[in-house]
Structure 1
Amino acid sequence: MRAAEIRLPGVAPVVVDREVPRAGDGEVVVEVVAAPVTPLDVLCAGGKSYFGVPRTPYVPGVQGVGTVDGRLVWFPTSAGMEPGDGSMAGAAVARRSDLVELPDGVDPVLVAAAGLSAVAAHMAMTWRGELVAGEQVVVLGAGGVVGQAAVQLARLAGARRVVAAARSAEARTRAAAAGADAVVALDTSDHMELVGRFLAACDGAADLVLDPLFGVPAAAAAHTLRAGGRMVTLGASAGRTCPLDAAVLYGRSLRLLGYTNKELTGAQQGEAVGVVAGAVARGELVVAHEVVELGEVTGAWERQEAGVVRGRVVLVP
């Protein structure tokens, strides 16, 4: 079978011929239909993350969609985080207990594109952020995959208003297409200018901010929150530190919360994938993506690493 293979940490994978993997106890061989190239894959392969240097060579891919005994399933792997191979191949091994059966007729590419990013958006808002129907939500970084999913999933959870924020014009277009009620431009580092933009976009005080950015955008968005409002942070692409106004923080008794998918139990992850797949199947969740043939993985990987992809790259064998 053909497979993408990382031969050296920090170097993009190449396509090689490999034998079909064999399943061990409690495992199954999945015939891969779609495998996304995600920031986590690049992070793991780089050898500089908290997972340590991966054992090479290995097949990357921390998640995928494929078939087992004729059933379409989503599956995770620990490729790059632990020794072993992942989803970017014609076939992959997964634990049977980790499989999530997908709805009939659902597009596997759309599920793969949403994947764990949509799981993060859903769980960060509903489980960690305790989103309830009727609340106003602010989504930062709404042009990215997590942000696009968050805009749509917040609406499905009953949010009365969703305010999106993104830096580039293209990203703001994607946020608007996802269904945001208002879109804020993050094209300045002027903190008070951003505060004004957020306040103008919100219909009164916000209840929840979903924050994959941190930095100045998060500090500005905090000004929109009501007393007791929540901010859930799950990334720091705008800065590792955040200039929060202390008076806003303690004066409104805000709750600042962190989130990571790693905290989820297997059951929680499986249930969240089911929610995401169901929304995809009903046409209620679509994120920007592009389909790339497995043989073109090197170029796709390099574009993901450089941050110039438009949405999620999904490899098809």
Structure 2
Amino acid sequence: MIRAALLTACGTAPTIAERPAPVPAAGELPITVEAVPITPLDVLCASGTSYFGTPPAPYVPGVQGVGRLADGTAVWFGTSAGMRPGVDGSMAAAVAVPTADVVPLPSGVPLTLLAALGLSAVAAHGALTHAGELAVGEQVIVLGAGGVVGQAAVQLARLGGASRVVAVSRSAKARARAEELGASVSVPFLPDDDVTTLTDRLRQAVDGPVDLVLDPVFGIPAAAALRVVRPGGRLVNLGSAAGATAPIESAVLRSGSLRMIGYTNNGLSAEERSASLAVVAGHAASGRLTVDHELVPFGSVAQAWSRQAEGRAAGRLVLVF
């Protein structure tokens, strides 16, 4: 028997339970789990309100994790828990995962940091490079720079050759942190901001043409950022933390021949995801990439899950065994 986090009803926090140890099927690898992040996707899937539908309960949540194979090789792995019926996820002491969803990691990668980075850093990297086609010397705006995706994006944009990164966030602490991580300047998004107010603030902060906007938030920030993008520039959206809709004017798009691009990690092939994880892991191993995170004992999963669901987590919460 092994310990696992079991979610017995959608909309509730998982609790610790004893479960039979998994028996790998053909094409699966057994993994001893070392660390698992609690992500917004985990909570969304478990709420029963996502576009994946309502997952049958009980099930073990967790769409990703890190651990070791029987020979000691460190790996990252992904699961479809909460997105596909009958699939248990990463929040267990041991798992059996299809080989295609297991990515070996280079030596020297701090596994708890890689767990915190995980698919959020993959999303930032994919949005910047695959979707956004970031080129050396370009100026980038990162909206939602205080989140895990935003923090990773600030660093990955600089590592990818951006000449200047402008970070936008609600929190003064998050803006200061973004500058520590490589942003050239940070811009506040205030509670009473409208599109015009935030646009004016962005115009004062940018230095010449803005080529690319990485947008995990949508809403007013996306509409304002589009107004300062150069003709032919692009915005890549990968979230809606500031609003499911945005007051974007047709004239802004047409007059600048702007491109708005939607991005999701679900659009990556297994090979593309592995390649992106390799980039993320390499930067993490060399100390060039980090995100704020907190290590939580696995036995405290219920409390940690509630903090994530209620928006009380400062950085990524990572369960450790």
Q: TM-score, normalised by structure 1?
A: 0.98
- 1:223 CA drift (Å): 1.4
- 1:93 CA drift (Å): 1.5
Tell me the equivalent position of 2:316. 312
Q: Which whole-Å CA distance do the structure 2 matches of 1:177 and 1:294 have between them? A: 30
- Verify: 1:298 aligned to 2:310, yes or no: no
- 1:177 CA drift (Å): 2.3
Q: Which whole-Å CA distance do the structure 2 matches of 1:93 and 1:63 have between them? A: 12
Q: Which whole-Å CA distance do the structure 1 matches of 2:54 and 2:252 have between them? A: 41
Q: 1:60-209, aligned counterparts within 5 Å?
A: 60-68=61-69, 69-82=71-84, 83-187=86-190, 188-209=192-213
- Verify: 1:256 aligned to 2:260, yes or no: yes
Q: Secondary structure at the match of 2:227?
A: helix
User: 2:53 is aligned with what amino acid?
Assistant: G
CA contact (8 A) 1:184 1:201 kept: yes
Measured against aligned partners, the alpha-carbon deviations of 1:42-84 in whole angstroms (never above 9, x if no partner) come to 0111111111111111111100000002100000011111121
Q: Which whole-Å CA distance do the structure 2 matches of 1:153 and 1:78 have between them? A: 26
RMSD, matched Cα: 0.9
- 1:184 CA drift (Å): 0.4
Name stretches of at least 5 consecutive residues in structure 1 with no aligned partner: none
Q: Secondary structure at the match of 1:307?
A: coil
- Verify: 1:240 aligned to 2:241, yes or no: no
Q: Which whole-Å CA distance do the structure 2 matches of 1:193 and 1:176 have between them? A: 22
Greater CA drift, 49-58 or 284-293: 49-58
Q: Secondary structure at the match of 2:280?
A: helix
- 1:151 CA drift (Å): 0.3
- 1:130 CA drift (Å): 0.6
Q: Secondary structure at the match of 1:97?
A: helix
Q: Which whole-Å CA distance do the structure 2 matches of 1:247 and 1:51 have between them? A: 35
User: 1:308 is aligned with what amino acid?
Assistant: R
Q: Which whole-Å CA distance do the structure 1 matches of 2:246 and 2:194 have between them? A: 13
Q: Which whole-Å CA distance do the structure 1 matches of 2:255 and 2:68 have between them? A: 53
- 1:217 CA drift (Å): 0.6
CA contact (8 A) 1:151 1:178 kept: yes
Tell me the equivalent position of 1:230. 234
Q: Which whole-Å CA distance do the structure 2 matches of 1:248 and 1:142 have between them? A: 24
Tell me the equivalent position of 1:39. 40
Q: Which whole-Å CA distance do the structure 1 matches of 2:14 and 2:193 have between them? A: 36
User: 1:148 is aligned with what amino acid?
Assistant: Q
Tell me the equivalent position of 2:273. 269
Q: Which whole-Å CA distance do the structure 2 matches of 1:90 and 1:51 have between them? A: 26
Percent identical: 56
Q: Which whole-Å CA distance do the structure 2 matches of 1:305 and 1:29 have between them? A: 30
Q: Which whole-Å CA distance do the structure 1 matches of 2:5 and 2:67 have between them? A: 16
Q: 1:6-25, aligned counterparts within 5 Å?
A: 6-25=7-26
- 1:197 CA drift (Å): 0.9
Q: Which whole-Å CA distance do the structure 2 matches of 1:80 and 1:289 have between them? A: 23
Q: Which whole-Å CA distance do the structure 2 matches of 1:29 and 1:224 have between them? A: 50
Structure 1 stretches of at least 4 aligned residues deviating more than 4 Å after TM superposition = none
Q: Which whole-Å CA distance do the structure 1 matches of 2:99 and 2:31 have between them? A: 10
- 1:168 CA drift (Å): 1.5
